[in-house]
Structure 1
């Protein structure tokens, strides 16, 4: 459980001040009098390099020496609208989005890392009826599961004030393509803003290890995307996360890009919304998403440490993520519908050397099965050769069977092909003058980070040519 220990003494003015502030804001705490407990005195001295400084406050294992009320408000999430606690993890895209939104709008919140505190994971599952969904945010004790920015704005009565300026380019999507477009646009002195629905980095941010990006033998997806984000900001790009664009309208040679809370105005637009993981669409999938069925090993793999997981798919992504999971789970069971993997030898050659990875080839996925408590039990499959059915048991499953373009926003705005990818020509031009496309959402794009950066360059040259005329 969330714990706060206050080491102090009754005669200490700052201890009395801290105790009063915690009581006023209904923050539970344990008061430990150092005058009555010698071990507490020694602990305080150890924490403070030999000095007996009180109050010393321990919050879930992190200590603070004589924090003032503003500092307490910051770390405990005390606000006029209530106490805000965010249960999440650093690798979670929506957690990063929510943290960024709260911080950008001056909202104090206590961040509780589910990777560091087992009780926090239990609390999240209890709130979400067995599902491990983060971020889960408590506002004065009332839980909200993964609220978007518009919901947080309303719940916390946040007054968002943005400057209504006209940007040279509005980039929708903050993955590698969008970030590269912003870097090149800013270097050409074009004022750009990136609007990202979740967190900066796109699918690349969710990749544990990238081994084919020029300049790096290997680098984690988050590290590479953080470097790109830093570079874009250094050149002056504005970046807004948690912005779910709802519509795009061209009027008087300007584009009006509307979200639930704000309208952004730009002289041009770059569609860099990327792609989303494809689903199997079999019984049990929808019901068990977040509670046994997942699409991102980097995001949710940590929940299955020392447990058994099933991986569905046979391409590069499936094997890459399966190999990543094998590093900390007990067993990985890879299920593929064909007799041979489509993944490159870089990945297939590694499998025979991995003792905790087994493969189930030529199997069609039929149904995700839950136990009597509604928790994931396994994946029912059919052998394509014999017709026999079996249940491949595990504690959870990860699906990696391809991507679909995030192009719904652009329906009836620009031309899409039958699969939903944006059609383009020349310097990333779409069917509407002033709108450009880059990255996985574009027809013919190669779903690789290095390729996405190249597409960002292409789009930047297209918009430069457009804006100069």
Structure 2
């Protein structure tokens, strides 16, 4: 439902041109003849500061005065290989990744924000069997759910040339640690390439508010990460998103980094892949992820405005995100398996002043319950003191019980500890000469943005020592 109104007249050459172009590309629109509709004439004059300029198009509430075919193609996602429509949201990491990839490769696309249009949300749910999965991309009305860059390359016949430049260092992971490493390395006149699987910023980008980063009493995670990204680019870093690394090999003193789409060459490598959210491992968890079970309040909280939700966990992340969700959800139930929270006292004190948050202490989560539509309905919990079981009903649930390092791809390449974290020595050096590690994926790391930036500095000094 693109909602296109075309104000024009039959005698107008540009109106005929615009109508023909839309019809040839199977774009639905409503034509309003200004010669027959006085209100339409007044509308056109109001849009164009008193001038009767036609054609004037209204596309989802935004006006375009006599756009040429190139402009129409850009706005409506018209390409030789097909019409592209991307349903997503600005806060969605994979949406940002897909938008960047399409833009970088000269693909026109019509971006539809599911936060602005109820019909768009319903369309996404219809396509994905009731699940609100974004990005959902339509190419000539054929839907593809969260296609990665490799899939988009195939679907849109994008010609991706292999990268032959040799970088001084290739940083795998674009969170706070990777960005800081790049900033320092570029200042040392070392060419850096950042390869990010999803979107720049890592877990910090998904944090609604950061209150403990030096220099900022309070700043949103996306804003802080955007500042770091801009700084890295200012110093000359090359950043590529949607690049999932599947192999690292050393040949003739160079590291060959293979992704799903191409191969890159570097003199040194930094592993800064961060971590992902830990799951509970209880019945129906996997089946209901995306259908009521979530791991990111900033990403999915907007779907639960004025609704009841559950937060599982008792650490800083659980309480911080629970407080954030309480700002627009009807109610928040925090379920903690221990008698006391492990979060800092600052967050515990904040809970006492929020009326729509209730706590369920010393409760073990046993099972997720679904309704007849296979959507989340309730959480079955057990009281650890009495062994009594009960159901907590809600519209959705968010899990915050810790992190797992994203290091599976590096097993057998560098040494990992029993938990999967990368082992390092002085200056962030791994067991392989020329490969360094920084951030949440490294053994002994502190999962804080400020700590991650410090580790990026450390890795940059390791790179400097190695390359010189």
TM-score (norm 1): 0.99
2 CA distance for matches of 1:106 and 1:204? 29
Match of 1:357 in 2: 357
Residue deviations 1:203-254 (CA, integer Å, cap 9, x gap) = 0000000000001000000000000000000000000000000000011111
Match of 2:188 in 1: 188
Match of 1:254 in 2: 254
Match of 1:227 in 2: 227
Alignment of 1:380 with 2:380, yes or no, is: yes
- Cα deviation for residue 8 of structure 1 reads 1.0
Match of 2:205 in 1: 205
The farther-off stretch of 31-40 and 100-109 is 31-40
Corresponding residue SS for 1:126: helix
Match of 1:43 in 2: 43
Match of 2:330 in 1: 330
Match of 1:96 in 2: 96
2 CA distance for matches of 1:186 and 1:124? 42
Residue deviations 1:83-115 (CA, integer Å, cap 9, x gap) = 000000000000000000000001100000001
Match of 2:415 in 1: 415
Corresponding residue SS for 1:264: strand
- Cα deviation for residue 161 of structure 1 reads 2.1
Residue deviations 1:425-451 (CA, integer Å, cap 9, x gap) = 100000000000000000000000000
Superposed, which structure 2 residues align to 1:266-277 within 5 Å? 266-277=266-277
2 CA distance for matches of 1:313 and 1:243? 32
Match of 1:117 in 2: 117
TM-score (norm 2): 0.99
Residue deviations 1:115-153 (CA, integer Å, cap 9, x gap) = 111110000001000000000000000000000000000
- Cα deviation for residue 2 of structure 1 reads 2.6
1 CA distance for matches of 2:49 and 2:319? 49
2 CA distance for matches of 1:124 and 1:5? 24
- Cα deviation for residue 320 of structure 1 reads 0.4
2 CA distance for matches of 1:143 and 1:335? 37
1 CA distance for matches of 2:454 and 2:144? 39
1 CA distance for matches of 2:146 and 2:139? 13
Match of 2:287 in 1: 287
Match of 2:371 in 1: 371
- Cα deviation for residue 162 of structure 1 reads 4.4
Corresponding residue SS for 1:182: helix
Superposed, which structure 2 residues align to 1:292-303 within 5 Å? 292-303=292-303
Match of 2:81 in 1: 81
Count of matched residue positions in the alignment of Structure 1 and Structure 2: 468
Superposed, which structure 2 residues align to 1:439-454 within 5 Å? 439-454=439-454
2 CA distance for matches of 1:52 and 1:327? 46
2 CA distance for matches of 1:211 and 1:449? 11
Corresponding residue SS for 1:106: coil
Match of 1:434 in 2: 434
Match of 1:52 in 2: 52
Any gaps of 5 or more consecutive residues in structure 1?
Answer: none
- Cα deviation for residue 49 of structure 1 reads 2.2
2 CA distance for matches of 1:390 and 1:64? 57
- Cα deviation for residue 58 of structure 1 reads 1.2
Superposed, which structure 2 residues align to 1:136-175 within 5 Å? 136-175=136-175
Ranges of 4+ aligned residues in structure 1 off by more than 3 Å: none
- Cα deviation for residue 190 of structure 1 reads 0.2
Report the RMSD for the aligned CA atoms in angstroms: 0.7
